[in-house]
């Protein structure tokens, strides 16, 4: 059960090692222009691998319950599926639901663990393979593996690394079950933190923030949904930035190559994107769009 690009390495590796009976994913969506139907990345990959695909609007239906109950499978591997698994599904006898979660649980339960780990400047994160229980991301885990968060990691680069780790750990976890040597570790409630979904308002840049914290936000939201500011009514995303020792007023454009003052120090914008356009390096962007030294950004 999966939906985005993050799920693909797990599907590919499990398909090499095991027999996959079916893939569950979110239903295809209509794209506004031309009403084109867009299938999820995992849907497209499953079709390439000639694996049957099921895509119910939600799992609260008897058809899918009966399908899983009689499917003669031992494991359901869930990775960024995007739907809650009903409790009666979890209670199907001899069927084990395992979730690939992109954090070192119990830190960062919830919807946006990768973004939050970068935005909060964690030094490391990882993958947890946990048994799914009715409470969100609270089940005991089978295995965990950590990876360092590098200063230049953004959401995309860290996601790619974690998705590969997740695929390997999914195979390892099934092997532990097959050898009958699996051992569950309960999460410690006192260390729980929640990675709530990123809100639209949250992705707006506040120049009054600490410069290092602002870079962490830019990295955590890059390339999507992107940290942004408005200039003359136009929304502009910052895709990549670095710390600068320049100092000035909060929100002041301090140089002709997009160094912007923050609460302390400043940031230098390296990669920037005007709404509806492609991302450009700062020099190329400024050749066609003027943000001048001395301006104050709100």
- pLDDT the model gives residue 145: 98
Q: What residue has token string 């109950």?
A: 69
Residue 207 in contact with residue 261, Cβ under 8 Å?
yes
C-beta contacts of 29-32 below 8 A and 24+ residues apart = none
Residue 150 in contact with residue 107, Cβ under 8 Å?
no
- pLDDT the model gives residue 200: 86
> For residue 258, how far is the Cα from the chain centroid?
29
Q: Rounded to whole angstroms, what are the CA distances from 275 to 11, 36, 231?
A: 34, 22, 11
CB half-sphere exposure, 114, CA atoms < 13 A: 24
**What are 37-92's pLDDT values in tens digits?**
899 999 999 999 999 999 999 999 999 999 999 999 999 999 999 999 999 999 99
Query: What residues of the chain score a pLDDT lower than 70?
Result: 32-34
Distance CA 132, CA 44 (A): 26
Specify the length of the chain in residues: 298
- pLDDT the model gives residue 32: 66
What is the pairing mode between strands 234-244 and 266-274?
antiparallel
Distance CA 105, CA 136 (A): 11
Q: How many CB atoms lie within 10 A of CB 117?
A: 28
Distance CA 221, CA 156 (A): 9
Q: What residue has token string 């230098």?
A: 268
Distance CA 223, CA 236 (A): 12
- pLDDT the model gives residue 33: 66
- pLDDT the model gives residue 34: 63
pTM: 0.95
**Which residue segments constitute the domains of the chain, with CATH numbers given?**
5-191 (3.40.50.170), 201-288 (3.10.25.10)
Work out the mean pLDDT of the chain and round it to a whole number: 96
Distance CA 101, CA 144 (A): 10
Distance CA 119, CA 195 (A): 11
């Amino acid at each position: 059960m999966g939906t985005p690009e993050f799920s693909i390495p797990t599907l590919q590796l499990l398909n090499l090692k095991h027999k996959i009976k079916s893939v569950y994913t979110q239903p295809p969506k209509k794209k506004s222009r031309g009403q084109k139907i867009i299938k999820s990345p995992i849907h497209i990959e499953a079709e390439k691998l000639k694996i049957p695909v099921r895509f119910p609007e939600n799992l609260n239906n008897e058809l899918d319950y009966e399908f899983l109950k009689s499917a003669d499978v031992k494991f359901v591997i869930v990775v960024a599926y995007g739907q809650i698994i009903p409790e009666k599904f979890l209670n199907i006898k001899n069927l084990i639901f395992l979730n690939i979660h992109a954090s070192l649980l119990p830190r960062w339960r919830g919807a946006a663990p990768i973004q939050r780990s970068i935005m909060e400047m964690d030094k490391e994160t990882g993958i947890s393979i946990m048994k799914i229980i009715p409470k969100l991301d609270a089940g005991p885990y089978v295995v965990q593996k950590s990876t360092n968060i590098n200063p230049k990691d953004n959401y995309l680069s860290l996601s790619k690394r974690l998705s590969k780790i997740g695929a390997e750990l999914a195979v390892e976890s099934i092997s532990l079950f097959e050898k009958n040597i699996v051992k569950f570790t309960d999460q410690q409630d006192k260390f729980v933190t929640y990675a709530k979904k990123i809100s639209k308002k949250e992705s707006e840049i506040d120049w009054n923030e600490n410069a290092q914290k602002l870079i962490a936000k830019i990295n955590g939201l890059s390339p999507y949904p992107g940290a942004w500011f408005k200039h003359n009514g136009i929304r502009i995303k910052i895709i990549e930035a670095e710390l600068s020792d320049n100092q000035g007023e909060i929100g002041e454009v301090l140089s002709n190559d997009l160094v912007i003052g923050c609460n302390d120090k400043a940031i230098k914008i390296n990669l920037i994107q005007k709404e509806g356009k492609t991302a450009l390096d700062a020099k190329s962007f400024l050749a066609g769009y003027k943000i001048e030294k001395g301006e104050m950004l709100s």
